Amino acid sequence: TEHRVRQINIATGVVTTVAGNGIAGFANATGVSAQFNAPTDVVINNAGNILIVADQYNRQVRQIVLATGEVTTFAGNTTSPGYADGAFNAARFGDITGICTDTLNMFYAVDR
């Protein structure tokens, strides 16, 4: 995989990279300075200004602020697989393969 989150502009047909530099790794940073390790799914929040990304092999849920391209960890605290319920920074995931949201802006992650 290319380890990037990309945007496809339907009106112009132009594809651009929103975040990720194409190298598998982990880095919270801005735009192409950020790193992902096999992002598998993405969903946008109800306000339309933040992307939530399932970052499979980093075992974290990441967020991208669309206005700035800033990538940060939304949930999960380690790149090592595990299981723990808890606060955003205390939760652990094993293998995140999908993510979605509901009308209340709650997010759901599939942890395989």
66 SS3 class: coil
Inter-residue contact 82 to 94 (CB < 8 Å): yes
Report pLDDT for 112: 87
d(CA 22, CA 17): 10
Inter-residue contact 39 to 5 (CB < 8 Å): yes
With bands split at pLDDT 50, 70 and 90, how would you rate the model's confidence at 80?
Answer: confident
Q: Which residues are paired to 72 by β-bridges?
A: 63
pLDDT tens-place string over residues 21-78: 999 999 999 999 999 999 999 999 999 999 999 999 999 999 999 999 999 999 998 8
DSSP 81: -
The CA–CA distances, whole Å, from 19 to 12, 47, 55, 71, 111 equal: 20, 19, 12, 7, 23
